[in-house]
Structure 1
Amino acid sequence: MPEKNLTAVKDFFLLGFQGSKNLRIILFFLLLVVYNVTICGNLLIIALVSTTKNLHTPMYFFISQLSITDILLPTNIVPNLLHVLLNNGATITFIGCMAQLFFFCIAEGSESLLLTAMSYDRYVAVCNPLHYVSIMTGTLCVKLVIMFSLLSFSNSLIYIIVISGLKFCGLNIIDHLFCDLVPLQDIACSDTFPIKVQIYLLSIPLVGIPNLIIIISYGKIVRAILKIQSNVSRQKAFSTCSSHLTVVLVFYMSLFSVYIFPKSGQTSNINKFLSLLYTVFTPLINPIIYSFRNRDIKKAVQEIIPKYQ
């Protein structure tokens, strides 16, 4: 991390929501409740997958790994955000800001890659069911998760090196909820165009390629389902993919609404609420979707409840 950056700007000031005190208090308690429910829900998914033999399958293994990222992401954002809301803004050190951005990138990158693996898993289950067990082995799943972790870690490290190459000279007020790529570029006093090009190139293995794989997988899944003659079998095949497809749509639509889609006429508060959607509420929605739309998860919950009564 360049020393000149550290001497020029030693800390940043996060504005958060600059609204009335009552609004900030309401948001504080709402986010506190959401965060606690998110942690409990995802821990429950991890515990169920770890202890229930019927859930020892590739799909549920990936779901448990997704729950880990859904714990990491809000834990990286929400505690400091609660502090920002209570104090109507708060200071974060330069190193603390880079650390928050680093773990944010790791969590988002890992989730994108895991959703890609899950889409491939659904593709094999629907389009090549006879060879599913031989293709989606436990060894392959573990190797994929390790590879995804290393790719997300190394990519995020490069992100931080690139961002820390920006010059921050004087203006240190970030009109956002946490340290994010776009707000940091907005307050930089150096040319950000080369940085933006590098960031878009770095996003290809974590966003571009995974999106392409997901689209191709579901294109083939839909084509295979439409060829099924029986309505019952067709509905059963689609139900195996509906939960994952819902999670994919929620994740990417919220993410793209902030980083990809045009923002003309969008206020900073709208951007902040959209950021809350994919950093705080999506990790809450994921276990809810897999719990209420999945018979195996419901059955595992029903079996485990009597043990603690």
Structure 2
Amino acid sequence: MAEHGDIRAGRHCVFALHAHLVFVTKFRHRVFAGVHLERMEQIMRDVCADFECELAEFNGEGSHVHLLVRFPPKVALSRLVNSLKGVSSRRLRQEFPELARHRHRRKTYFGLTARSTAVLEDGHRRIWETGAVNRDWDGTWTMVGFSLPAGERSTRHDLRSQLIWAGFGPLQSGLWIAPGTKDVVEMLTALGLGDNVTVLQARALKPTESADLVRKAFDTAQIADRYRAFLDRWDTPSPLPTVADDLARQLFLYGDWLQLVRRDPHLPAEHLPPDWPAIRAETVFRTLARRYEPTAADLADAILDTLPVRVPGPPPAADGPD
């Protein structure tokens, strides 16, 4: 093949073919230093030589490189580009392992739905406001009576689950009670059961005693066992010693405690034993939560990145008539 400056001649043709190629890092991360660019130029020269091409010019910066390649007509430019990209990427990651870590630098953000926000707010109230011991009971009971057709088994299951979540216990078939005043309107509306359910507020009258209602509707032994299991795990000088750090311990602590208070019907303290284990368990939880909070907050700040939430405003008002 004869050459005359930039013009080359083959047996049946004369040509001067150039390709200006630009390779960009993923997400345009600035990962290349001078040593990386020097090695990349050599790798790409070798690839071009394998294709009987010439790398005429090469330069680059932290996030991209430019190539000017002379190539003969017999070379498929797509194959050359694939080889330049694939070979250089593979060899650079083999020779410079720190470059491989930049493949995982994409950030992902998560937001909460309105429903998730409401669930978390409810959990916060149960942990820090409601508490585990009901010392302010006014002597009233909220009563929910329902009768559903046999074919609505799934709806009956959903209603019972929601009632348990709200602190109700089954007094007898189709009648559930909870201490104090409970707002069940939202629950019943979501299940579409307004016409099938009766809600009343009442007080126990002789010969019925409130202590009897507690005993019949709620398994206090099982509730106490759950609090004792919590104390066995957390009421020690150094809980969960094999866990990595205080952030992890805080997550386990809150998870365990939230499971307890969500399943606790918040029964009146006056109808529970004086040594009710929830009293000690609540003290242990609050003490450990205060202990873990400073270190856990610092670790979370170092790990998590947050963005401000943009709340859409109301649409602009339409212009009135002239």
TM over 0.5: no
Pick the structure with more helix per residue: 1
TM-score in terms of structure 1 length? 0.27
Which structure has the larger Rg? 2
Pick the structure with more strand per residue: 2
